[in-house]
Amino acid sequence: MERFDLKDKIVLVAGASSGIGAATVERLLAEGARVIAAARRMDRLQALAKDRPGHCLPLQLDVADPDSTSSMVERMPEGWRNIHGAVVCAGHDVGGRARFDQADAETWANIIETNVNGTIRVCRAVIDRMTARGTGHIVTLGSVSGLITYPGGSIYSASKHAVRAFTDGLRKDYGDSDIRVTEILPGLTRTEFAESRWGDGSKAEAFYDKAPGLLEPEDIASAILYAMTAPESVNVSQIVVHPTRV
Ligand code: NAP
């Protein structure tokens, strides 16, 4: 069976400005895909797209903002709208790793707004082209926190349990077509995630340094590329990735 060729395919990466998303952009470009790199921090995206005109398009996107997400496709230049794939990396745990009463409702709600509703919005914005063609690939970022719970993680874990259920349901919705739907469930990965959670770079570094084993963003990008380059008749529905030492 033939490996799926991503050359010249248009792939949106939502949450491309750092971590797993940024590593995925690099891997997709190396496969010859044309990549729309979307997130809130345009300076990061412009740096990623620099010297890659026609191959990498930076796009301002706030997945927690319904207007930003629903206008996303029409804000792309005409030649970029026929999206083959969408990798939804946008997510955070701002205010997390704290007991439930130690943050306010809005802080908690924003995790759900971004991780769950944001994922739903991005998928809705790209699905019409996929259904019109009868082909496409959506990849969501769940987490091992979507399989377990832990103290201080009730909301983040709830968000990733929701991503897992949503992604599984989505795959079943399109089971009568060549639209593939994959959930990637990473274990602890060294990115900007912990710094964004605490707003404190040295606390984040200490947290990662203490971990017995850690993944790198490229490890997760490799899992994403494995699913996206599988033969078109193969839907890799979930990939759970742990560091070897846990
Ligand atoms: P990261 O380095 O902090 O990257 C998060 C990305 O999400 C950034 O590009 C950020 O861009 C984007 N983002 C956050 N809020 C957004 C919004 N409202 N609109 C658009 N983009 C937004 O963290 P990461 O580890 O790569 O996280 C990527 C995904 O992997 C997340 O869904 C996370 O839950 C999941 N994950 C991470 C780990 C881990 O250990 N790191 C483990 C399991 C799962 P801007 O700030 O520029 O918007």
Query: pLDDT tens digits for 116-151?
Result: 999 999 999 999 999 999 999 999 999 999 999 999
Q: Domains of the chain: which residue ranges?
A: 10-240
CA of 176 to the centre of ligand 1 (A): 31
Q: In what order do the strands lie in the sheet with 10-14?
A: 56-60, 34-39, 10-14, 83-88, 135-141, 178-186, 238-241
Instruction: Kindly state the average pLDDT of the residues 27-33.
Output: 98
Q: Which residues line ligand 1 (CB under 6 A)?
A: 15-21, 39-41, 44, 61-64, 89-92, 114, 118, 141, 143, 186, 188-189, 191-193, 196, 217
Q: Which long-range contacts does 141-144 make (Cβ < 8 Å, 24+ apart)?
A: 141/15, 141/20, 141/87, 141/88, 141/89, 141/91, 141/183, 141/184, 141/186, 142/167, 142/183, 142/184, 142/185, 142/238, 143/185, 143/186, 144/185, 144/186, 144/187, 144/240, 144/242
* pTM (2 d.p.): 0.98
CA of 91 to the centre of ligand 1 (A): 4
Distance CA 16, CA 150 (A): 28
Tens digit of each residue's pLDDT (9 = 90 or more) over 73-105: 999 999 999 999 999 999 999 999 999 999 999
Q: Which CATH class is domain 10-240?
A: alpha beta
Instruction: Kindly state the average pLDDT of the residues 10-25.
Output: 98
Q: Is the pLDDT of residue 42 over 90?
A: yes
CA of 56 to the centre of ligand 1 (A): 19
Tens digit of each residue's pLDDT (9 = 90 or more) over 145-203: 999 999 999 999 999 999 999 999 999 999 999 999 999 999 999 999 999 999 999 99
Ligand 1 nearest-atom number relative to CA 191 = 2
What mean pLDDT is reported for the chain?
A: 97
Asked whether the CA dihedral 200, 37, 35, 169 is positive or negative, the reply is positive
The answer to whether residue 208 is catalytic is no
Burial (CB < 10 A; 0-12, 13-18, 19+), residue 20, is: buried
Instruction: Kindly state the average pLDDT of the residues 48-55.
Output: 96
Q: Is the Cβ–Cβ distance between 125 and 72 less than 8 Å? A: yes
pLDDT at 1: 81
